[in-house]
Structure 1
Amino acid sequence: MTLNLRVMAPNRIVWNSEAQEIILSTNSGQIGILPNHAPLLTALDIGVMKVRINSDWCTMALMGGFAMIENNQLTILVNEAEKGSDINLEEAQQTFDLAQESLNQATGKKQTIEANLAFQRAKARLEAVKANSSSAYN
């Protein structure tokens, strides 16, 4: 038995396929979703979604949004998403390092909030590409 997974950003459908298992980062922690999951509507945090298709794991960096599970259909609406396989590791590492430096140097409330958001996004992208190439998910 499988789940139908659809990930939609404002300008495109990012993912539309079947999956056996999905792990999401929600605002209250990570959740695992298997076929016949109870209906659920939840807010998503910036983080990595892990998807198992047969015996292979894929990752995707999600930049916040909402997920609705009903009748083995998981619909995810996100602000932005990027498949781990589409992310360049060196570029993601460089962006992460710059975001971390900006966060450490942030002064003032607004600058700290903006730097923290950029750091979370960079961290999600880096984790997605690293997990995608890791043997733990392949």
Structure 2
Amino acid sequence: MSLQISILTPERPFWNGEAEELILPTETGEMGVLKNHAPIITGLDVGAMLIRTKEKWSSFAVMGGFAVVKNNVVTILANEAEASATINADAAKAAFDTAKDNLEKAEGVKQKVEANFAFKRAKARFQVVKVLNKIN
């Protein structure tokens, strides 16, 4: 038996399936999950999530949330998720560059916090497109 993964967003069940490996963007760094992983609950950061099935790797942009791992079942409660296949690579690159410039120009606490969040979202979307091109 492999991992049974469910990704849920507030709008809908986003992805369900079996996988051999999962890499999550946690608040303390990336975390890999394989079969028979120890039970854990972890907070998710905005970032790239990778899922390896028997056939291929898939990448998703996850915009925060939580993950629960127990008995080879992984439940991911994401604030928002987007599959790399639905992301336009050129638009993601342009948004990343714009967000990076805005972050560098941000002044004041509120503007810096908002620019940092926009940068993390744009970076996650751009990363999943880049990662998918490298691994497949």
CA distance in 2, matches of 1:6, 1:126: 23
CA distance in 1, matches of 2:88, 2:57: 18
Structure 1 counterpart SS, 2:37 = coil
- Number of residue pairs the alignment of both structures matches: 136
Alignment-derived partner of residue 13 in structure 1: 13
Q: Which runs of 5+ in 2 are unaligned?
A: none
CA distance in 1, matches of 2:116, 2:3: 34
Q: What is the percentage of aligned positions where both structures have the same residue?
A: 48
Structure 2 counterpart SS, 1:100 = helix
CA distance in 1, matches of 2:113, 2:42: 23
1:32-67 superposed Cα distances (whole Å, 9 cap, x missing partner) = 101111111000111111110114111001000000
What letter corresponds to residue 49 of structure 1 in structure 2? M
Structure 2 counterpart SS, 1:123 = helix
Normalised TM-score (structure 2): 0.97
* 1:42 paired to 2:26: no
CA distance in 2, matches of 1:43, 1:25: 9
Root mean square deviation, CA, Å = 0.8
Query: Deviation above 2 Å: which 4+ runs of structure 1?
Result: none
